């Protein structure tokens, strides 16, 4: 299977501080990959390099077949991104957000209409399509933001703590959407502080002080460290960075 | 503190913001030296409740007393005696760790030195960074500094609004260890969290959703409120399992928990062994031959989801 994300010795320094220290890994098409680590371990810096927002100090990475350094614009065109707090414009309606993002990603008017209709229907948001996003409950916003991030059918979608603060049932519905996207072939790269969610991933990596401290399927990691849960593995490996 | 009364009493508290009901008839009290958790997702009303208790917001109805003092009438007396850690990072990012602490101490007419005894167990963990700007701290360290700032004037009760949201699992554990120590020193603590696993570390919890209290009890007792026999299902292909269980006509609930899925059956008078047997047969006939079905003990999160009825986003 081809690697959709291919990372080799990727490094980023800020002055004397090495935030990301020669990490290497790959993620395959249709895989749900959990990118874990303590606060300050280097996750955000690594993600910024993978989505073409931060230039690596050394090493290389390609995402969706494009080098993040030399083809950053193509990378951004072929990925979806959704973060913990911001993804949609709160003062625009559901429909306006879809139109805006569809336009940014170069979809035709017909595509925006067709995919927008399907998206709204799939989420059961028909009654709320003319509502301002600010008026939606957080769980709805996050599901909508995820769907919008998939609107241009990217090869990879990056989800940065997508379920923080979301109620437990909606959190699980969100993961069903992740599974469904992966089943359609979309690669999902996700960070979370809920370690029960990490168990839902095909493979996870745990970053520790800028390096990949462990990488494997949840079962492999639990076997390797003789722990019953990924939370125990995580606590064993991840020291909060100073 | 009045000797007889509870450190906190909330009665029929209500608050709305235009069409949104933020708090609806909320009633509970804290026992002396109790670690009491408010557990619920965003939009449950936790922050509104804290703002009323910290005398920053007036309730529309109902009443509340903190340390025997009325939150509307006695606001100045209350403010001097509570420690309040708001949900958003509340420190001055351009001041150093030590400057933040000295500032908060001086606001309450005291000094860092006078308050050192109570904050020492927490502050010692970040003291070597005392010159660092607060804005440059990691998430876990920010929370420890914010807790130190909320404690430096030796409050008689502590209000913590989601102190561990966005904080990694290691820092979360350390933070709760600290709360356990504070509690054993006799300090009553009201703490909000969206993490169900943290609820287990409280003496009692109130489960909240959309402004209402769904249940108040000890964590273990809340798990026992789950209304049906519960089973854990393990299978290799979990997405196929979820889809199969959504299609199963007898499913009452089918929700993933880490590497397993918790299932309950909608038929009230079927014996647990029969439920498990039928489920195994069904899964096997749907291509999930490796399915393991075992009885499970419901936890707080199971009970919470059962009490929620409809999820938060069931709008309109």
- Put simply, the answer to whether B312 touches A84 (Cβ < 8 Å) is no
pLDDT for position B90: 82
* Average pLDDT score over residue span B257-286: 95
> In the beta sheet, which residues pair with residue A204?
A34, A216
CB-CB: which of B169, B194, B255 is closest to A231? B169
A84 touches chain B (CB under 8 A): yes
pLDDT for position B3: 54
Residues on chain B touching A135 (C-beta within 8 angstroms): none
CA distance A180 to B270: 33
* Average pLDDT score over residue span B288-297: 95
Cα torsion B249, B253, B258, B260: sign: negative
Q: Chain B closest CA to A12's CA: distance in Å?
A: 18
Chain A residue with CA closest to B193: the answer is A165
Q: Chain A closest CA to B199's CA: distance in Å?
A: 13
What count of other Cβ atoms lies within 10 Å of the Cβ of residue B81?
17
CB-CB: which of B238, B257, B308 is closest to A167? B308
A172 touches chain B (CB under 8 A): yes
CA distance B81 to B108: 9
* Average pLDDT score over residue span B218-247: 93
Q: Chain A closest CA to B171's CA: distance in Å?
A: 7
- Residue B122 burial (C-beta neighbours within 10 Å; 0-12, 13-18, 19+): buried
**Chain segment A131-179, per-residue pLDDT in tens:** 999 988 888 899 999 999 999 999 999 999 898 878 888 899 999 999 9
Residue B299 has pLDDT above 60, yes or no: yes
Chain B residue with CA closest to A178: the answer is B239
- Put simply, the answer to whether B169 touches A238 (Cβ < 8 Å) is yes
CB-CB: which of A84, A128, A182 is closest to B316? A128
* Average pLDDT score over residue span B108-128: 92
pLDDT for position A109: 96
Work out the pLDDT band at A238, boundaries 50, 70, 90: confident
Provide φ and ψ at B174, rounded to 5°: -60, -40
Q: Are A147 and A119 in contact (CB under 8 A)?
A: yes
Question: Could you say which residues from 59 to 98 on chain B have a Cβ atom under 8 Å away from some Cβ of chain A?
Answer: none
Helix (H, G, I), strand (E, B) or coil at B73: coil
pLDDT for position B194: 86
CA distance A202 to A185: 13
pLDDT for position A30: 93
**Chain segment A39-55, per-residue pLDDT in tens:** 888 998 999 999 999 99
Q: Give the burial string for A14-44 (b: 16+ CB within 10 Å, else e).
A: eeeebbbbebebbbebbbbbbbbbbbbbbbb
pLDDT for position B312: 43
Residues on chain B touching A195 (C-beta within 8 angstroms): 169, 258
Residues on chain B touching A160 (C-beta within 8 angstroms): none
- Put simply, the answer to whether B312 touches A170 (Cβ < 8 Å) is yes
> In the beta sheet, which residues pair with residue B273?
none
- Give the up-direction half-sphere exposure of residue B290: CA atoms within 13 A in the CB hemisphere: 8
B123 touches chain A (CB under 8 A): no
Give the count of Cβ contacts less than 8 A between chain A and B.
Answer: 128
CA distance A48 to A38: 17
Residue B1 has pLDDT above 50, yes or no: no
Q: Chain B closest CA to A33's CA: distance in Å?
A: 15
Provide φ and ψ at B167, rounded to 5°: -100, 140
Residue A240 has pLDDT above 80, yes or no: no
Pairing of strands A187-191, A203-208: unpaired
**Chain segment A183-199, per-residue pLDDT in tens:** 999 999 999 989 999 99
User: Which of A134, A161, A169, A198 is the best residue to mutate to test the B interface, defined by the most B CB atoms within 10 Å of its own CB?
Assistant: A169
Q: Tell me what the pLDDT averaged over chain A comes to.
A: 92
- Put simply, the answer to whether B40 touches A165 (Cβ < 8 Å) is no
DSSP A242: -
* Average pLDDT score over residue span A107-112: 96
Closest CA to B162 of B93, B222, B89, B212: B89
DSSP A39: T
Residue B311 has pLDDT above 60, yes or no: no
**Chain segment A214-230, per-residue pLDDT in tens:** 999 999 999 999 998 99
CB-CB: which of B170, B301, B313 is closest to A170? B313
Residues on chain B touching A229 (C-beta within 8 angstroms): 258
A232 touches chain B (CB under 8 A): no
What count of other Cβ atoms lies within 10 Å of the Cβ of residue A103?
12
pLDDT for position A203: 97
pLDDT for position B4: 63
pLDDT for position B258: 87
pTM for the whole structure? 0.86
Q: What percent of chain B has pLDDT over 70?
A: 97
What count of other Cβ atoms lies within 10 Å of the Cβ of residue B66?
30
Residue B310 has pLDDT above 80, yes or no: no
């Amino acid at each position: 299977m081809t690697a959709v994300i291919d990372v080799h010795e990727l490094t980023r320094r800020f002055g004397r501080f090495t935030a990301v220290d020669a990490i290497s890994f790959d993620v395959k098409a249709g895989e749900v990959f959990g990118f874990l680590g303590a606060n300050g371990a280097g996750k955000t810096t690594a993600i910024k390099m993978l989505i073409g927002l931060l230039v690596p100090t050394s090493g290389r990475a390609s995402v969706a077949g494009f080098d993040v350094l030399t083809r950053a614009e193509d990378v951004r065109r072929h990925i979806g991104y959704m973060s913990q707090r911001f993804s949609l414009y709160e003062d625009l309606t559901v429909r306006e957000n879809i139109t805006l993002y569809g336009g940014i990603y170069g979809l035709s008017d017909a595509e925006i209409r067709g995919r927008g209709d399907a998206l709204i229907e799939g989420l059961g948001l028909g009654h709320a399509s003319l509502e301002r996003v600010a008026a939606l409950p957080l769980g709805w916003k996050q599901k909508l933001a995820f769907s919008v991030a998939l609107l241009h059918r990217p090869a990879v979608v990056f989800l940065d703590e997508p379920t923080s603060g979301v109620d437990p049932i909606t959190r699980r519905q969100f993961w069903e959407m992740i599974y469904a996207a992966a089943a359609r072939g979309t690669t999902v790269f996700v960070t979370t502080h809920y370690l029960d969610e990490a168990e839902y991933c095909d493979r996870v990596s745990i970053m520790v002080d800028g390096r990949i401290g462990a990488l494997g399927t949840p079962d492999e990691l639990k076997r390797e460290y003789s722990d019953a849960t990924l939370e125990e593995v995580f606590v064993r490996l991840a020291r909060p960075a100073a | 503190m009045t000797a007889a009364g509870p450190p906190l009493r909330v009665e029929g508290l209500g608050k709305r913001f235009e069409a949104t009901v933020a708090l609806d008839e909320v009633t509970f009290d804290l026992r002396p030296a109790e670690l009491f958790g408010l557990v619920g997702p965003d939009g449950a009303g936790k922050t509104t409740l804290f703002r009323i208790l910290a005398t920053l917001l007036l309730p529309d109805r109902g009443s509340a007393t903190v340390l025997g003092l009325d939150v509307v009438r006695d606001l100045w007396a209350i403010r001097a005696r509570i420690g309040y850690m708001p949900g958003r990072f509340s420190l001055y990012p351009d001041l150093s760790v030590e400057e933040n602490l000295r500032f908060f101490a001086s606001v309450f007419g005291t000094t860092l030195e006078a308050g050192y005894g109570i904050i020492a167990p927490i502050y010692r963990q970040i003291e070597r960074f005392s010159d660092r700007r607060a804005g440059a701290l990691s998430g876990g360290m920010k929370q420890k500094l914010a807790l130190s700032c909320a404690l430096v004037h030796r409050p008689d009760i502590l209000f913590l609004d989601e102190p561990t949201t966005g904080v990694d699992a290691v820092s979360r554990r350390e933070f709760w260890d600290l709360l356990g120590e504070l509690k054993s020193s006799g300090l009553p603590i009201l703490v909000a969290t969206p993490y169900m696993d943290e609820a287990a570390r409280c003496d009692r919890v109130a489960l909240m959703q959309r402004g209402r209290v769904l249940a108040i009890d000890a964590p273990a007792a809340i798990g026992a409120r789950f209304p049906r026999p519960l089973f854990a299902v393990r299978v290799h292909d979990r997405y196929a399992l979820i889809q199969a269980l959504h299609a199963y006509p007898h499913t009452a609930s089918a929700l993933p928990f880490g590497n397993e899925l918790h299932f309950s059956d909608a038929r009230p008078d079927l014996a647990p062994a029969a439920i498990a047997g039928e489920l195994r047969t069904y899964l096997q006939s749907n291509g999930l031959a490796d399915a393991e079905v075992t009885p499970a003990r419901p936890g707080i999160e199971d009970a919470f989801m059962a009490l929620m009825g409809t999820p938060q986003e069931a709008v309109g």
